[in-house]
């Protein structure tokens, strides 16, 4: 019931004018809220796709960083925005779903308070260490962690998908490390690069550049199969069968956004993601473009929520 009045105000013109609402969209700037600090995977993707939307539609696309509370602050801003297609969320949807699983009193529900527009891309996590950590393979990392229980520091934003990747890895291997929580993936990468932490999982799109520059040592990739951009890098699953994690980035609009606007946004984003130059650029950096339809994206959110709920239960993980 909380959205009934908002729906009426937005849908009334549509009911009167048929498809004219979608045809006239957009007529003013679009705001894309990224609920994490600049430099992470979501921020990179928003700044890659935003100019393409501007080029197509002739309206500015403004990327607004609203970090805090592991993404909850920015997500809440969008959930409470007018459902008119002019305020969107681009985020690691796993992180926001994990918040809901760990903190049931979160002010928003990703599957209730948002309209799924599209799943933008999948970027596997890279398992990396600081160059001074004396390991170069996953088995060596496990052995070192077992030799020195609690001595290694794992960097990640609190309650995010990379965080749970570390929890899952520790649970599967029986190791123990200390968690250092930062303000997002970019901060976690910086913490390991500068030696303030030892190890991390993080999205490939944001983590590959410091790997290539030698500031991080890459041990493995978290995809099911070896990544074409890193053919010589083993998967974590080659040591721990079935291990699969990653960052799925999605675009969402406030619940009640007219389906015609959602469909138009999805179609244009899918077109952009699969242009040859954009597709090549993303794949070279380890991200697979998706651009799935709204209904498929909504089902994906529900399935991921169930998967994280099961993982938290199996590991017995409690927020620190």
Do 17 and 45 fall within a single domain?
Answer: yes
Task: Report how far residue 223's alpha carbon sits from residue 228's, in angstroms, rounded to the nearest whole number.
Answer: 11
Query: Does residue 258 lie within any of the structural domains?
Result: yes
Question: How confident is the model over 26-81, as pLDDT tens digits?
Answer: 999 999 999 988 888 899 999 999 999 999 999 999 999 999 888 899 999 999 99
Q: Is residue 78 part of a domain?
A: yes
User: Do 172 and 231 fall into the same domain?
Assistant: yes
**Position 205 in a domain:** yes
Number of domains in the chain: 2
What Rg value do the Cα atoms of the chain yield, rounded? 20
Q: Is the pLDDT of residue 306 over 70?
A: yes
Same domain, 216 and 263: no
Residue 56 is predicted with a pLDDT of: 94
- Tokens 């520091």 correspond to what residue? 153
Which of the listed residues 238, 255, 287 is the one where a domain comes to its end?
238
Over the stretch 281-290, which tens digit does the pLDDT of each residue have?
Answer: 898 888 899 9
Asked whether residue 61 is assigned to any structural domain, the reply reads yes
Last residue of a domain, one of 238, 269, 303: 238
Residue 153, pLDDT > 90, answer yes
Report whether the peptide linkage leading into residue 26 is cis, meaning its omega lies within 30 degrees of zero. yes
Which pLDDT value is given to residue 21?
61
Between residues 177 and 16, which one has the greater pLDDT?
177
The domain that holds 183 is classified in CATH as 3.40.190.10
Residues spanned by the domain of 171: 125-238
98, two tokens? 């994990």
Q: Do 49 and 61 share a domain, yes or no? A: yes
68 in a structural domain: yes
Tens digit of each residue's pLDDT (9 = 90 or more) over 219-278 = 999 999 999 889 999 999 999 999 999 989 999 999 999 999 999 999 999 999 999 999
Residues 110 and 182 both lie in one domain: no
Instruction: Judge whether 320 lies within some domain.
Output: no
**173 plus 275 within the same structural domain:** no
Same structural domain, 15 and 110: yes
Query: For residue 288, what are the contacts with CB-CB under 8 A and spacing of at least 6?
Result: 121, 122, 123, 282
Q: For the whole model, what pTM was predicted?
A: 0.81
Beta bridge pairs of residue 154: 179, 199
Per residue in 114-142, pLDDT (tens digit) is: 999 999 999 899 999 999 999 999 999 99
Q: Is the pLDDT of residue 209 over 50?
A: yes
The domain that holds 21 is classified in CATH as 3.40.190.150
| Cα 267 from Cα 249, distance rounded (Å) | 16
Phi and psi for 31 in degrees, rounded to 5?
Answer: -105, 125
Q: Do 71 and 180 share a domain, yes or no? A: no
Residues 227 and 269 in one domain: no
Whole-number Å distance between alpha carbons of 209 and 194: 15
What mean pLDDT, rounded, does the chain reach? 90
User: 232 and 269, same structural domain?
Assistant: no
Q: Are residue 116 and residue 160 in the same domain, yes or no? A: no
The answer to whether residue 87 is domain-embedded is yes
In this prediction, residue 181 carries a pLDDT of 83
Residues 158 and 118 both lie in one domain: no
Does 230 map to a domain? yes
Domain end, chosen from 193, 211, 238, is at 238
Q: Tokens in use for 240?
A: 């721990």
């Amino acid at each position: 019931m909380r959205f009934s009045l908002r729906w009426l105000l937005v849908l009334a013109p549509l009911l009167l004018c048929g498809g004219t609402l979608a045809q006239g969209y957009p007529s003013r700037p679009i705001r894309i809220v990224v609920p994490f600090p600049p430099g992470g995977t979501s921020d990179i993707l928003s700044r890659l796709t935003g100019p393409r939307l501007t080029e197509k539609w002739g309206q500015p696309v403004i990327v607004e960083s609203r970090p805090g509370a592991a993404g909850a602050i920015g997500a809440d801003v969008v959930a409470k925005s007018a459902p008119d297609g002019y305020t969107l969320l681009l985020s690691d949807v796993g992180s926001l779903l994990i918040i809901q699983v760990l903190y049931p009193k979160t002010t928003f529900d990703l599957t209730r308070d948002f309209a799924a527009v599209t799943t933008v891309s999948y970027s596997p996590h890279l398992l990396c260490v600081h160059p001074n950590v004396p390991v170069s393979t996953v088995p060596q990392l496990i052995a070192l962690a077992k030799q020195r229980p609690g001595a290694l520091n794992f960097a990640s934003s609190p309650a995010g998908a990379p965080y749970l990747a570390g929890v899952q890895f520790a649970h599967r291997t029986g190791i123990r490390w200390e968690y250092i929580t930062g303000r997002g993936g970019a901060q976690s990468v910086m913490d390991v690069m500068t030696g303030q932490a030892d190890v991390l999982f993080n999205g490939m799109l944001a983590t590959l550049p410091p790997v290539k520059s030698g500031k991080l040592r890459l041990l493995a990739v978290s995809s099911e199969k070896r990544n074409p951009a890193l053919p010589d890098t083993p998967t974590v699953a080659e040591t721990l069968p079935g291990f699969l994690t990653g960052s799925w980035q999605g675009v969402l609009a406030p619940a009640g956004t007219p389906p015609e606007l959602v469909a138009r946004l999805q179609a244009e984003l899918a077109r952009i993601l699969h242009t040859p130059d954009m597709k090549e650029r993303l794949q070279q950096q380890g991200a697979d473009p998706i651009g799935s339809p709204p209904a498929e994206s909504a089902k994906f959110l529900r399935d991921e929520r169930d998967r994280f709920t099961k993982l938290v239960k199996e590991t017995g993980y409690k927020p620190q």
